[in-house]
Amino acid sequence: MIDKILVIIRWFNIIIKGNLLSFKWLKIDVETDTKIELPFFTGSMLRGVLGYALKRVVCINPSYKCKECFASNECLYYQFYEEVNLFHQYRLGLTLQPKNLNFSFYLFEEATTALPYMLSSIKKALEEEGVGNDRRPVHIVKVLVNNHSVYDGEKFTSLKEVMPNVFDSRSMGDSLKEVRLTFTMPIRLKENNRLARDTFSLHTLIGSIHNRYLQLKGEKMHSLGYRVEGEIIDSSLTFVEMKRYSNRHKKSMKIGGLKGELLIKGLDTKSYEYLKLGEIIAAGKQTVFGLGAYTLEEIK
Q: In this predicted model, what pLDDT tens digit does every residue of 133-181 receive, in sequence order?
A: 889 999 999 999 999 999 999 999 999 989 999 998 776 666 678 999 9
H or E stretch covering 274: helix 269-281
Q: How far apart are CA 300 and CA 291, in angstroms?
A: 28
* Greatest C-alpha distance within the chain: 64
Q: How far apart are CA 115 and CA 19, in angstroms?
A: 29
Statement: the pTM of the whole predicted model exceeds 0.85: yes
Q: How far apart are CA 57 and CA 118, in angstroms?
A: 9
Q: CB under 8 Å to 126, separation ≥6 — which residues?
A: 30, 32, 49, 101, 137, 138, 139, 140
Model pLDDT for residues 228-281, shown as the tens digit of each residue: 999 999 999 999 999 887 777 677 888 999 999 999 999 999 999 999 999 999
Q: Is residue 3 part of a domain?
A: no
Q: Is residue 28 part of a domain?
A: yes
Q: CB under 8 Å to 40, separation ≥6 — which residues?
A: 96, 97, 242
Q: Is the domain of 187 the same as that of 267?
A: yes
Model pLDDT for residues 175-201, shown as the tens digit of each residue: 678 999 999 999 999 999 999 999 999
* Of 141, 165, 189, the domain-final residue: 165
Q: Which domain holds residue 117?
A: 23-165
Q: Helix, strand, coil % (nearest 5) of the chain? A: 35, 30, 40
Q: Is the domain of 161 the same as that of 194?
A: no
Q: How far apart are CA 243 and CA 247, in angstroms?
A: 13
Query: Considering the chain, what is the average pLDDT of its residues?
Result: 90
pLDDT of residue 17: 40
**Is a pLDDT exceeding 90 seen at residue 227?**
yes
Q: Is residue 241 part of a domain?
A: yes
Contact 118, 107 (CB under 8 A): yes
Q: Is 220 helix (H, G, I), strand (E, B) or coil?
A: coil
The percent of residues in the chain predicted with pLDDT above 90, rounded, is 73
Spacing of C-alpha 66 from chain mean position: 24
H or E stretch covering 49: helix 43-58
pLDDT of residue 127: 96
**Is a pLDDT exceeding 50 seen at residue 13?**
no
Q: Is the domain of 36 the same as that of 136?
A: yes
pLDDT of residue 5: 46
